[in-house]
Structure 1
């Protein structure tokens, strides 16, 4: 096992990585911006290095500053968490070039999966179902329109280099497509430095289901179940649960097998997630993208499998076997996670501020991964995520009951907080039944 680790991230995920590393006897180094000087992850690491101002480009996305901090602190490895530089192939390569261990997949796999069109084509060749769409970027609105007419409206207009739900729009007809194509292309060039646009079939009633994979040192790829991620706002997840209430055992087996093929197709190592769309009407799933990193929602998988995914990442990066038997994985119970964000519960607009009250629920079957505590300030410089509230029960009914109680018991004051939305969701018959899709939040907000 490696002996020292720099965590190139912030907030709850940095704190969560430090927690596992400490349990394993690994010395940890946090890097932080001026805005984050007082946050728990900075205090709890064995060492902390200031790397720049609040602007992520000058701190958490600053490759030179992070590598300099790694050299100063004499660490063996870098864990990127999620977001920021976690899926940056150039950064992964630079870490290796500096003689450090990268806790994640190789730069080649990151690069192969970073472009949605290239990823689609690779998956199709590997026998993974993909939705009807373009095999090359649409170079103009006319090309996009021709593709849409071939695929059939409505279509999704997507930034090929995008991620995190950004750079996506729905077009229902030719006029809408021309308008959205120009918007998405301009956004993609501005945000990702790549204006390539993908046209893909849009499914009005669809579920978002993903599979957790681990690429082991011996070359095997294993799947640790699926996660249902269909409760979203602005194409970004708010709630995740496992197992998915939508899948039959047979369809689940097909999905997990496809995810393993996806990992094998790119020689995947370490933790990753194969994201899919599931069309309940046609009982068919389609590859969406692969996230070449740890996911925000990984704790629900940990809960039902009894596996620490960060520990497995560190073991794989160290050349060690996993702590579990890949051939004897079993699911125990049901787990649900909600993302506690500093945003208003109606329009989901950010509402940063100083935390004056922070009381986490302390009951059986409840876990809180938080990045803040009382007295800390949530700034507008970063994502609004403050904590993840995770519950585990013997079945979905017990998990829902525990989540209702935990949401009620979680007290946050100062910033705006979306906890009231989750209380509302847990009273929503559609969600409670398990028969919901990615349009559930929009339908909730459309009700007067």
Structure 2
């Protein structure tokens, strides 16, 4: 087992990793920016070291400073969490060159699956269904338009090196293609350092279903069931649940087997997620693979009773998976609401500031993953998510009831949050009936409230 770990992240995921490390007897080192000097993760870790200024590029994206902190504190490994450097193959490669264990897959796999066009090509060769699209190099706007016309509108233009909903444009006809093509390339360059894009058929109103994968270093791969991630706004997930009410056992088993086959196709190791689009007829298509822990991993933990972060650390320490696919038992239902410091009534504008009062819900089947506390100042430099509220029930109806109760108790003073907006989702008849897709929030809530 690793003895000492540096956590290259902040906020609730850093706290989450520290807790797992404590239970495994691993010492921890937190990094922080100047804006996070008094953040909770710096207080919970065994050691903490500043790696730069408030902006992400000066601190949490500063590879040289992070690696220097790791060497200085004699850490054996680095857990990148999600976001920041978690899917950066250059950083994972630098870790390897410095003899530091990167908690995640090999850098070659991160690079391969990070290139969405190459990932599609690999999946197609492995007989895994993919959304119809173009995998080759797109050299000009003229080429792009011809490709789009051949595929047939509507199409989706996506950053080849993208993730997290960035660099994506949906185009419904030729009149709006040029603007969106150039906008996708600009956003891709800004977010990922390159402007390469690819084009695929846009599946209207699909379900977004993802399967959690665990793979050890001995070739053993299992899946932990699926998560329903269709409740999104601007391609960013808002609320997730597990299992999906849309999948029946036959489709679930088929998709699970395909997810494992996808992981085997790239010799995957550690925790990862295979993401699919599923149309109204139950036809599913590989979308992408996330080579890291997911924000929404807690709902899978709740229905499987498997600690995914601990499994990551065990795998990285060279320990075999202690269970097979037949050992995994999915029981009950879990829901996660992302709690953001934002104003839904003002186009979801981020609302940093000082938390003046705080009451966190609790009780049987209620979990809160967060790093906030009374008096904590939410900085303006990072993502607006300040916590995750997770509830578990023996069935979906009870999980919803428990989530509504927990949201009603959750009180955060001093800043505006999306708690009431989350409650509004849970109250909607279509959500209660499980009748929703990726366009639900825009069509049923945001536009209706405008």
**Partner deviation per Cα, 1:278-314 (whole Å, 9 max, x = no partner):** 111x321111111100000000000000000010000
Q: Who is 1:309 aligned against?
A: 308
Checking the alignment, whether the CA contact within 8 Å between 1:307 and 1:324 is kept in structure 2 is no
Could you tell me how far 1:325 is from its partner in structure 2?
3.9
Q: Who is 1:213 aligned against?
A: 213
Q: Which runs of 5+ in 1 are unaligned?
A: none
Q: Could you tell me how far apart the structure 2 residues matched to 1:432 and 1:349 are?
A: 27
| Residue aligned with 2:134, SS | coil
Q: Who is 1:404 aligned against?
A: 404
Q: Could you tell me how far apart the structure 1 residues matched to 2:303 and 2:405 are?
A: 20
Q: Aligned pair count?
A: 447
Q: Could you tell me how far apart the structure 1 residues matched to 2:47 and 2:191 are?
A: 33
Q: Who is 1:373 aligned against?
A: 373
**Partner deviation per Cα, 1:17-42 (whole Å, 9 max, x = no partner):** 00010011110000001101111111
In the alignment, does 2:47 pair up with 1:47? Answer: yes
Could you tell me how far 1:425 is from its partner in structure 2?
0.7
Q: Could you tell me how far apart the structure 1 residues matched to 2:137 and 2:209 are?
A: 25
Change in Cα spacing, 1:80 to 1:106, as seen in structure 2 (3 Å) is same
Which has the higher mean CA deviation after the structures are superposed, 261-270 or 319-328? Answer: 319-328
Could you tell me how far 1:320 is from its partner in structure 2?
0.5
1:277-296 equivalences under 5 Å are 277-280=277-280, 282-296=281-295
Which has the higher mean CA deviation after the structures are superposed, 250-259 or 333-342? Answer: 250-259
Could you tell me how far 1:367 is from its partner in structure 2?
0.2
Q: What is the TM-score of this pair, normalised by structure 1?
A: 0.98
**Partner deviation per Cα, 1:148-176 (whole Å, 9 max, x = no partner):** 22211111111111110011111111111
Checking the alignment, whether the CA contact within 8 Å between 2:355 and 2:415 is kept in structure 1 is yes
Q: Who is 2:155 aligned against?
A: 155
Checking the alignment, whether the CA contact within 8 Å between 1:148 and 1:155 is kept in structure 2 is yes
Checking the alignment, whether the CA contact within 8 Å between 2:333 and 2:392 is kept in structure 1 is yes
Q: Could you tell me how far apart the structure 2 residues matched to 1:322 and 1:278 are?
A: 30
Checking the alignment, whether the CA contact within 8 Å between 2:134 and 2:198 is kept in structure 1 is yes
**Partner deviation per Cα, 1:233-291 (whole Å, 9 max, x = no partner):** 110001111001111111111111111111001100000011111111x3211111111
Q: Could you tell me how far apart the structure 2 residues matched to 1:380 and 1:207 are?
A: 32
Checking the alignment, whether the CA contact within 8 Å between 1:345 and 1:419 is kept in structure 2 is no
In the alignment, does 2:153 pair up with 1:122? Answer: no
Q: Could you tell me how far apart the structure 1 residues matched to 2:261 and 2:310 are?
A: 24
1:53-202 equivalences under 5 Å are 53-202=53-202
In the alignment, does 2:295 pair up with 1:300? Answer: no
| Residue aligned with 1:184, SS | helix
| Residue aligned with 1:438, SS | coil
Q: Who is 1:446 aligned against?
A: 447
Q: Who is 2:331 aligned against?
A: 332
In the alignment, does 2:259 pair up with 1:255? Answer: no
**Partner deviation per Cα, 1:126-155 (whole Å, 9 max, x = no partner):** 111100000113222221221122211111
Could you tell me how far 1:349 is from its partner in structure 2?
1.6
Could you tell me how far 1:75 is from its partner in structure 2?
1.0
Q: Could you tell me how far apart the structure 2 residues matched to 1:17 and 1:150 are?
A: 47
Q: What is the TM-score of this pair, normalised by structure 2?
A: 0.98
Q: Who is 2:31 aligned against?
A: 31
**Partner deviation per Cα, 1:54-105 (whole Å, 9 max, x = no partner):** 1111110111111111111111111000000000111111111111111110
Change in Cα spacing, 1:325 to 1:222, as seen in structure 2 (3 Å) is closer
Which has the higher mean CA deviation after the structures are superposed, 292-301 or 69-78? Answer: 69-78
Q: Could you tell me how far apart the structure 2 residues matched to 1:189 and 1:35 are?
A: 26
Could you tell me how far 1:217 is from its partner in structure 2?
2.1
Checking the alignment, whether the CA contact within 8 Å between 1:158 and 1:169 is kept in structure 2 is yes
**Partner deviation per Cα, 1:314-346 (whole Å, 9 max, x = no partner):** 000000023434431110100000100000123
Checking the alignment, whether the CA contact within 8 Å between 1:273 and 1:292 is kept in structure 2 is yes
Computed over aligned residues only, the root mean square deviation of the Cα atoms, in angstroms, reads: 1.0
| Residue aligned with 1:426, SS | helix
Checking the alignment, whether the CA contact within 8 Å between 2:366 and 2:390 is kept in structure 1 is yes
Q: Which runs of 5+ in 2 are unaligned?
A: none
Checking the alignment, whether the CA contact within 8 Å between 1:61 and 1:84 is kept in structure 2 is yes
Could you tell me how far 1:229 is from its partner in structure 2?
0.4
